[in-house]
Amino acid sequence: MPHDWNDETPASRLWPLSMSEVRTLGARFDPKISTDTAVRFRRTPSGAWLFGCSEVVVKVHNPRIDAARLSDQLASAKLPQMRPWLLAPLTDRVMLSTGVAAPISIWPLVDVIDSTADAAPWSEAGSLLAGLHLTSPPVSLHE
């Protein structure tokens, strides 16, 4: 897992999901996950929570995220023609938990760009990401 993930701590009472819920969600996509699989976490600048468990990342989005729009974005990212450019979620289904008023998505655990890398194309990547978040998927992508 990336070096900036944190291990479980007593602050877990502030987490939007229990570690048991993270493991249960993750186990739907990774049969290696059990009741004692380690869970790591990190908070993103946008207010989302990322929980890494084995080879799965459970993302609890910021509660302001529109679940219907997120569902469209996930479906678009999962299309085969998008694979050269986007990481595909493990499912395009937006999940909700009884204790969380925020949409949840499930992703594969992948290596990420080192945030200290001088040569990383941050400006270009930021522009692409901003554009993707502001654009509704074309109808033709769902056919």
pLDDT digits (tens, 9 = 90+) for 81-132: 877 778 899 999 998 877 778 899 999 999 876 666 677 777 877 887 777 7
The better pLDDT of the pair 137, 108 is held by 108
Whether 69 contacts 132, CB under 8 Å? no
In the structure encoding, which two tokens stand for residue 93, read together? Answer: 């289904």
**What pLDDT sits at residue 127?**
80
- 16-42 pLDDT, tens digit each: 788 888 999 999 999 999 999 999 988
d(CA 25, CA 105): 10
d(CA 39, CA 6): 9
In the structure encoding, which two tokens stand for residue 44, read together? Answer: 């993103």
d(CA 95, CA 29): 13
d(CA 53, CA 33): 7
Question: Tokens 């459970």 sit at which residue?
Answer: 58
Residues 6+ apart with CB under 8 A from 8: 19, 38, 39, 40, 41
pTM of the model: 0.75
